[in-house]
A and B are shown apart, each in its own frame.
Chain A
Amino acid sequence: MRPSIRPGDGAESRGRLAVEEAERQGADVMLTSTATLEPAYRAFGFRPVREPDEVRLDHHSAHTFHRTWLIRWTIEPTPLVLHSDF
């Protein structure tokens, strides 16, 4: 059965489905790229990626770092290299 939030459920339960499912599955790190939704992600514990050494694209990508990346670690932060654009 699909987890769901039906109309009329409390507002506080909204917006947590995606993050809660990642947490349930044992995500070490969550990453997104957004400028407009940054406040919403900050409320879920995300913060901007501080510098290219923390997360970067591999050398095959045209751009190695995006300033719109937001990240949330559940483990000690460690340098990540993404294998494709994000």
Chain B
Amino acid sequence: MNRVLEQGDHVMVARVRDDGCARLDEIAFDLLYEDHASASERALIGDLLVKAFGWRHRPTRLATALRRRSTVRQRGYTLHLPHYRVLAWAGDQLVGARMVCRPSCDPPGVHLYGFGDAAVHPAWRRCGIARAIGG
């Protein structure tokens, strides 16, 4: 069964098996550094984040939430600029993403890595993808 999902400017066809779930060994995982990410990859990830988190992520005011949604769609992250990302692909379809960032902290000499923005496409949940990109 194919399911057509509108993703902003993209049209994504998610292949959904009869049992509604892909096997984890059908998924490929890639490491993508932010300075190597294209605008279309960021937009695809941004669409995935908005779909995963809903249109309202953290902000409680409608105007703030709508502004945030537009920003997230464009840049592909919610709070922190990614250092790199792990992407989960089913064929050429992005089905999961996780980013690792470098939040600023004190003491400044500590090399802190923050793991955030774990998102799985709604049609591909309960397949172990979130756990697989979790670490």
Contacts and interface: CB of A to CB of B under 8 A. Distances in A.
B111 A2 contact: no
B110 A29 contact: yes
Interface in A20-53: 21-22, 25-34, 36-37, 40-41, 43-44
Contacts of B103: 31, 82-84, 86
Contacts, number: 117
A82 B103 CA distance: 7
B104 A30 contact: no
Interface stretch (B13-21, B29-37, B47-55): B29-37
A28 B106 contact: no
B79 A27 contact: no
Interface in B102-135: 103-107, 110-116, 118, 130-135
B26 interface: yes
A4 to B, nearest CB: 5
A46 to B, nearest CB: 8
B112 A80 contact: yes
22 contacts: A2-B31, A7-B26, A8-B25, A11-B25, A15-B131, A17-B31, A18-B135, A26-B111, A28-B111, A29-B110, A31-B103, A31-B112, A34-B134, A40-B134, A78-B107, A78-B110, A80-B105, A80-B107, A80-B110, A83-B106, A84-B104, A86-B79
Interface of A: 2-9, 11, 14-19, 21-22, 25-34, 36-37, 40-41, 43-44, 75, 78, 80-86
